[in-house]
C-alpha cells in the first residue's frame, strides 16, 4: 500500500478518533466508579486504548514502509468526538454515581461497537496487511468486551453455570 486511498485515510482517522475518545471514556468511567477493582479495570482499559494507537502507528508504518501516513492523517482532523462514543459518554454522565453495573454495561456496549467498527473496516481494506491490522484490533476489542463481561458477571453474581465460566479470559472459546 504505497498510497493511501481517501477511504482508507478516513477509516484510519475514524479508528484513531475512536481510540482517543475511548481512552477519555474509560478515564471518565474510572473517575465515577467507586469500587476500587472497577476503577483499576477502567484505568487499564484506558491504557489499552493508548496501546492500540501505538499499534496503529507501528503497523501502518510497516504496511506503507514509512511514516508518511501520519502526515496524511492530520491531527486537527482527529479532534472532536467519535460518533461511536458520543452517545455512550452522555449515558455515562447521566449514570454518574448511580451504579457501577451501568458503567460496565455502557463499557460493554462501547466495546461491542468498537468490535463492529473494526470488523467492518477490515472488510473494506483491499490491502491484506491493512485488513490484518483492523482484524487484530477487533480481536483486542473482543478481549476488552470479555473483560468487562467477566467484571459484570462478578458484580452481579451471574455468568457461571455448573461452576465454570462461559468463556476463557485468553479470548479462546
pTM attached to this predicted model: 0.71
- Residue scoring higher pLDDT (15 or 2): 15
Nine-digit cell at 19? Answer: 481510540
Please tell me the predicted confidence (pLDDT) of residue 116: 94
User: Does pLDDT of 15 surpass 50?
Assistant: yes
Three-class SS of the chain: CCCCCHHHHHHHHHHHHHHHHHHHHHHHHHHHCCCHHHHHHHHHHHHHHHHHHHHHHHHHHHHHCCCHHHHHCCHHHHCCCCHHHHHHHHHHHHHCCCCHHHHHHHHHHHHHHHHHHHHHHHHCCCCHHHHHHHHHHHHHHHHHHHHHHHHHHHHHCCCEECCEECCCCCCCC
Q: Which range, 23-32, 79-88, 116-125, 146-155, has the best average confidence (pLDDT)? A: 116-125
Higher pLDDT, 54 or 122: 122
**Could you give the domains of the chain?**
6-165 (1.20.1260.10)
pLDDT in tens, 26-50: 888 888 777 788 788 889 888 988 8
Question: Mean pLDDT throughout 48-71?
Answer: 71
Instruction: Say if residue 131's pLDDT is above 70.
Output: yes
* Averaged confidence pLDDT in the chain: 75
Query: Residue 133 to residues 3, 66, 92, 102, 123: CA-CA distances in angstroms?
Result: 17, 16, 29, 31, 11
**Grid coordinates given for 157:** 453474581
Burial of 1 (0-12, 13-18, 19+ CB in 10 A): middle
pLDDT confidence tier of residue 164, bands split at 50, 70 and 90? low
Mean pLDDT of 57-63: 66
| 80-114 tens-digit pLDDT | 556 666 666 666 666 655 567 777 888 888 889 88
Amino acid at each position: 500500500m504505497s498510497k493511501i486511498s481517501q477511504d482508507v485515510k478516513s477509516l484510519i482517522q475514524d479508528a484513531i478518533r475512536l481510540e482517543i475518545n475511548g481512552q477519555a471514556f474509560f478515564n471518565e468511567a474510572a473517575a465515577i466508579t467507586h469500587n476500587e477493582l472497577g476503577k483499576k479495570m477502567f484505568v487499564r482499559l484506558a491504557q489499552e486504548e493508548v496501546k492500540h494507537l501505538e499499534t496503529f502507528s507501528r503497523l501502518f508504518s510497516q504496511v506503507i514502509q514509512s511514516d508518511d501516513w501520519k502526515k496524511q492523517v492530520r491531527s486537527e482532523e482527529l479532534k472532536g468526538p467519535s460518533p461511536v462514543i458520543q452517545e455512550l459518554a452522555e449515558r455515562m454522565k447521566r449514570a454518574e454515581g448511580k451504579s457501577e453495573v451501568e458503567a460496565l454495561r455502557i463499557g460493554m456496549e462501547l466495546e461491542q461497537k468498537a468490535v463492529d467498527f473494526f470488523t467492518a473496516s477490515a472488510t473494506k481494506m483491499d490491502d491484506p496487511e491493512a485488513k490484518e491490522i483492523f482484524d487484530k484490533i477487533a480481536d483486542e476489542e473482543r478481549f476488552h468486551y470479555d473483560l468487562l463481561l467477566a467484571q459484570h458477571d462478578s458484580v452481579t453474581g451471574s455468568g457461571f453455570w455448573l461452576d465454570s465460566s462461559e468463556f476463557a479470559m485468553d479470548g479462546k472459546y
